[in-house]
Amino acid sequence: MIGTTLLRGVGTDVAGTRDSLVQRVTHFEGLKTNARLPLHIKCKKGRRRGDMRATNPSLRVEATIETNPGLNGGLPPSAKTVTLESVANNSATPLSPNSAKRHADENIRDEARRQGLANPPNTFSAKYVPFCPGIETDEEYSIDEVVYRSKSGALLDVQHDMAALKKFDGAYWRDLFDSRVGKTTWPYGSGVWSKKEWVLPEIDDDDIVSVFEGNSNLFWAERFGKEIVGMSDLWVKHCGISHTGSFKDLGMTVLVSQVNRLRRLGKPLLGVGCASTGDTSAALSAYCAAAGIPAIVFLPANRISIAQLVQPIANGALVLSMDTDFDGCMRLIKEVTTELPIYLANSLNSLRLEGQKTAAIEILQQFDWEVPDWVIVPGGNLGNIYAFYKGFQMCKELGLVDKMPRLVCAQAANANPLYRAYIDGYESFKPVTALPTFASAIQIGDPVSIDRAIYALQNSDGIVEEASEEEIMDVCAQADSRGMFTCPHTGVALTALLKLRKRNIIKPSDRTVVVSTAHGLKFTQSKVAYHSSELPDISSRFANPPVQVGADFSSVMEVLKQKLSLQ
């Protein structure tokens, strides 16, 4: 032991056990040395029983530092040496109040670097493996390869080094993730990158393209729960309150960041492309524009909303509008991306799901790591239901929680290939020609992630439900009139809830989360038509049309008396 020093400094978690913490500490004012020493830091601030751990990476902590270069101080194997800079004396020196503040001439990436928060020593890794549950294989690919399918044509999955992650217990991960919420620290201010170790652990923070997505609200749907489904514990995870108005931002930050990295490494990628029903293209275009990377989007002509169409146009993407449906666009983008060095951004690319899975982790985090009974997700190309499964499953396997919620995947009856397979006991799967649906973003007949979805549902005691067009529009109107502003896909999920409540499969007191996948403002045309009772074959039972009234006092009073039942 060469010395014990009481210091105040800024540090970030590198590794820890229940009663000790290893931090990377680079900023102690007044210290001057270039010695590289393993540090064992015991923090006096802790948040859990017997847990002497500072949980906030940017928190100033009072730390006792025991340095032991010879014996490594009993550190966990992943602990790294830390460079102490500026050692002038070896006495306790308080951090000046301003030293954690950003200098006028630095940006938040520089700030994170100065504070020692950027690219902390990393012992985690991930790779692509074939998605073939239960089948042993040595086939694997680096995340830096451009590959979407296995040799046998199976989907791929991102596999994390679970043994490395398991060196830290559930409490460690819970506290680490909790410590990052609500900050602007690069890149952890993002709900996705706050889980970086579980997403893309090896990417350089400088390559990350993020608009601090995620951290979306999970709200209590009090009136809808009580009045429509007789439930007291109904919640909506609003992934549509997001930069481009849908959950796609969660996956796209990961995918575009990786493309950014590949281009920096010299891979000749011309741009990034996708087929889309409107939300993937919006997210891709925005992230590519933020990074200065060309985006190419294939859209089915006249099948997406105006609000969705204008997004890639405004973001400067190359927009190809095609006289086919989404499945047709998907077939074409797959062909094109094998011919040209254009990186594929659809969820066939398993990188996307690594970002999307963080919404599941967030739900647990928002419930203070209590597991809900049910989570209901609308499904189209079926990547998201697997992403939710994966997020919940990782939390269970790594000890953050002790069980999984039951998953429900909800489809529009006009585009229901998964529902049909479910009814058939998953004996067979047949693609369908998807018919138009108000839930236009899930008008998909040949979902690329069908295998992932079936696996997720089978392993979460899952259920598949479907919703007719009238059910979708009616439930949206019922939800909206109780304070929501739902997109039709959320209507599909709410219909599934309604049906499962009617059959008493979901019980009145079951804690249930409905995932709202897009913002209702993207889908106003059908709402306007519903409330004007202009939709063919739909009775618009809950329409609330505007009242045309003369612009004079007596006409207004007459209407008010009648509508408000006044005498």
Ligand X SMILES: N[C@@H](CCOP(=O)(O)O)C(=O)O
Minimum distance, C-beta of residue 415 to ligand X, in the bound complex (Å):
11
Minimum distance, C-beta of residue 386 to ligand PLP, in the bound complex (Å):
8
> Binds 379, which of ligand X, ligand PLP, none (CB < 5 to 8 A, cut-off by type)?
ligand PLP
Nearer to ligand X among residue 281 and residue 495 (C-beta): 281
Nearer to ligand X among residue 175 and residue 213 (C-beta): 213
Phi-psi map region of 461: left, alpha, beta (phi>0 left; psi -120 to 50 alpha): left
Nearest CA to 257 among 285, 287, 282?
A: 287
> Binds 214, which of ligand X, ligand PLP, none (CB < 5 to 8 A, cut-off by type)?
none
> Binds 276, which of ligand PLP, ligand X, none (CB < 5 to 8 A, cut-off by type)?
ligand X
Among 276, 416, 490, 512, binds ligand X (CB under 6 A): 276
Among 175, 249, 279, 480, binds ligand X (CB under 6 A): 279
Nearer to ligand PLP among residue 201 and residue 383 (C-beta): 383
Distance, in Å, from the CA atom of 67 to the CA atom of 39, rounded to the nearest integer, reads 5
Nearer to ligand X among residue 366 and residue 381 (C-beta): 381
Number of Cβ within 10 Å of residue 489's Cβ equals 34
Distance, in Å, from the CA atom of 48 to the CA atom of 133, rounded to the nearest integer, reads 37
Minimum distance, C-beta of residue 78 to ligand PLP, in the bound complex (Å):
34
Nearest CA to 279 among 321, 234, 255, 243?
A: 243
Residues numbered 481-500 forming contacts with ligand PLP, rule: CB under 6 A? 487, 489
Minimum distance, C-beta of residue 494 to ligand PLP, in the bound complex (Å):
13
Joined together, the tokens standing for residue 126 give 């991930």
Nearest CA to 13 among 122, 87, 106?
A: 122
Say whether 82 sits in a helix, a strand or coil.
strand
Nearer to ligand PLP among residue 53 and residue 519 (C-beta): 519
Question: Vertex 207, ends 202 and 208: CA angle to 5°?
Answer: 85
249 binds ligand PLP (CB under 6 A): no
Minimum distance, C-beta of residue 497 to ligand PLP, in the bound complex (Å):
15
> Binds 253, which of ligand PLP, ligand X, none (CB < 5 to 8 A, cut-off by type)?
none
Distance, in Å, from the CA atom of 39 to the CA atom of 55, rounded to the nearest integer, reads 17
Minimum distance, C-beta of residue 101 to ligand PLP, in the bound complex (Å):
40
279 binds ligand PLP (CB under 6 A): yes
Among 273, 380, 405, 445, binds ligand X (CB under 6 A): 380
> Binds 382, which of ligand PLP, ligand X, none (CB < 5 to 8 A, cut-off by type)?
ligand PLP
347 binds ligand PLP (CB under 6 A): yes
> Binds 346, which of ligand X, ligand PLP, none (CB < 5 to 8 A, cut-off by type)?
ligand X
Minimum distance, C-beta of residue 353 to ligand PLP, in the bound complex (Å):
9
Task: Write a three-state SS string for 303-347.
Answer: CCCHHHHHHHHHCCCEEEEECCCHHHHHHHHHHHHHHCCEEECCC
Amino acid at 234: L
Q: Which x/- pattern over 515-534 shows residues binding ligand PLP (rule: CB under 6 A)?
A: --xx----------------
Distance, in Å, from the CA atom of 288 to the CA atom of 296, rounded to the nearest integer, reads 10
Distance, in Å, from the CA atom of 538 to the CA atom of 222, rounded to the nearest integer, reads 27
Task: State which H helix or E strand residue 441 sits in.
Answer: none
Among 5, 56, 115, 280, binds ligand X (CB under 6 A): 280
> Binds 130, which of ligand X, ligand PLP, none (CB < 5 to 8 A, cut-off by type)?
none
Joined together, the tokens standing for residue 272 give 């990034």
Instruction: Report DSSP state, residue 477.
Output: H
Among 52, 441, 467, 515, binds ligand X (CB under 6 A): 441
Number of Cβ within 10 Å of residue 423's Cβ equals 12
Amino acid at 134: G
Which positions ≥6 away from 285 have C-beta within 8 Å? 295, 297, 311, 312, 315, 316, 317
Peptide bond into 268 cis (omega under 30): no
Among 5, 216, 337, 381, binds ligand PLP (CB under 6 A): 381
**What strands lie across the sheet with 218-220, from one edge to the other?**
218-220, 234-238, 512-516, 374-378, 406-412, 463-467
379 binds ligand PLP (CB under 6 A): yes
> Binds 378, which of ligand X, ligand PLP, none (CB < 5 to 8 A, cut-off by type)?
ligand PLP
- Binding footprint of ligand X on the chain (CB under 6 A): 274, 276-281, 346-347, 380-381, 383, 441
- Binding footprint of ligand PLP on the chain (CB under 6 A): 246, 277, 279, 347, 378-384, 441-442, 487, 489, 517-518
